[in-house]
Amino acid sequence: MSQSIDWANLPFGYMPTDYNVRCTYRNGKWGEIEVSSSEILNIHMAATCLHYGQEAFEGQKAFRCPDGKIRLFRIDDNAERLQQTCRGIMMPEVPTELFRAMAEKVIRLNERFIPPYESGASLYLRPLLIGTGAQVGVHPAEEYMFLIFVTPVGPYFKGGFATNDYVIIREYDRAAPLGTGRYKVGGNYAASLRANHIAHEAGYSCEFYLDAKEKKYIDECGAANFFGIKDGKYITPKSTSILPSITNRSLQQLALDLGLEVECRQIPEEELETFEEAGACGTAAVISPIRRIDDLESKKSYVISKDGKPGPISTKLYTKLRNIQYGIEPDVHNWVTVLD
């Protein structure tokens, strides 16, 4: 079957694979890792994930590299972020060793679905933690399921690394200042669907959020973090409602390595017009460079890329991170796990 997959034309979507791995939390402890070939979960209708949003997820990719090996990027950081999310919405923490063991196992079990290096495609891992115990009152569940499934996904940039247009949406917030924006929970995505739809209908690649309280500062860029480049600086918003992106953290380190300064601070909307380059960052694209951000309310249009092309520093950061993920450049920060 894998012979017939058109790797280079895969969408970012779901395709069935052979196995997923699961682990149940019951009586205060995690059980054994189970391997399943079913795509279906059989859960209680009063499960807390269905009613009270006890649901958290992660996103990660495994790469088939030019040396033939499989590499995973900063997997322990995903485990730690899930643990932060667990503390945020009262779920038991998945230990890093369990997270890692399950990730490695599900990749090996589905090795035939890892796209070849040349295709630019990769194997996406979706770790998911849900409250499965029944509750009718608003309480955390007593039982949970942690699972990881994988699905091959196509290259993000089908026509090569390119810029996109964004639109500031003020009518909807994805998260409150002291809400769940900093946790990777499904509810934030539910809250973003309408703004995302409005942005797409208006012909933009994605919606752009200002801080929910004052509507003055840059918050998130759709489901990705924002960064801007100017005067030899990599500048990214500091906010309590932003999801701490591992890609952003990696880019900050690489920016320092390139001799840039890194600033993590509030960014007023008007500062957008001063950036030489800007991008959205996350696992899906690494960097999605920004051409223009429109504010429909104030009728302002912040044109960041004058020639419509990705800037030189964004391109350098993107190439550097991809090369580390693919084992092409040395992994000096110890980010990569090699599975052979």
Q: CB nearer to ligand PLP: give 19 or 189.
A: 189
Q: Which of 29, 105, 184, 309 is catalytic?
A: 184
Size (the chain), residues: 340
Nearest residue (CB) to ligand PLP, 147 versus 223? 223
Quick check: 291 and 304 in contact, CB under 8 A? yes
Q: In angstroms, how far is CA 214 from the centroid of its own chain? A: 26
In the complex, the smallest distance separating the C-beta of residue 220 from ligand PLP, rounded to whole angstroms, is 6
Q: Could you tell me the smallest distance in angstroms from the CB atom of residue 329 to ligand PLP?
A: 19
Instruction: Give the Å distances, CA to CA, from 154 to 66, 68, 242, 289.
Output: 17, 19, 27, 18
- Give the rounded distance of the alpha carbon of 56 from its chain centre: 12
With contact defined as beta carbons under 8 Å apart, do 325 and 317 qualify? no
| Whether residue 184 lies in the annotated active site | yes
Q: How far is the CB of 249 from ligand PLP (least distance, A)?
A: 8
The least CB distance from residue 283 to ligand PLP, in Å, is: 3
Binding site for ligand PLP (CB under 6 A): 59, 184, 220, 223-225, 243, 245-248, 282-283
Residue-by-residue DSSP string for 4-71: G--GGG--SS----S-EEEEEEETTEE---EEE--------TTBHHHHS--EEE--EEEEE-TTS-EE
The CB density around residue 53, as the number of other CB atoms within 10 Å, is 17
Q: In Å, how far are 66, 132, 153, 235, 321 from 111, measured between CA atoms?
A: 16, 29, 14, 38, 23
Q: How far is the CB of 246 from ligand PLP (least distance, A)?
A: 4
Amino acid at 303: V
Comparing CB distances to ligand PLP, the nearer of 5 and 177 is 177
**Helix (H), strand (E), coil (C) string for 66-110:** CCCCEEEECHHHHHHHHHHHHHHCCCCCCCHHHHHHHHHHHHHHC
On whether the CB atoms of residues 48 and 133 are closer than 8 A, the answer is yes
Residue 269, Cα to own-chain centre: how many angstroms? 24
Cβ closest to ligand PLP, residue 93 vs residue 143: 93
Query: What is the nearest approach in angstroms of ligand PLP to the Cβ of residue 274?
Result: 24
CA gap 171, 227 in Å, rounded: 23
Are 210 and 265 in contact, with CB atoms under 8 Å apart?
no
Q: Least distance to ligand PLP from the beta carbon of 161, Å?
A: 17
Select 163 or 283, whichever has its Cβ closest to ligand PLP. 283
Q: With respect to ligand PLP, which residue has the nearer C-beta, 143 or 235?
A: 235
Q: Are 23 and 147 within 8 A, CB to CB?
A: yes
CA–CA distance from 187 to each of 6, 48, 57, 201, 245 (Å)? 33, 13, 11, 22, 17
Nearer to ligand PLP, 79 or 224 (CB): 224
Question: Could you list the active site residues?
Answer: 184
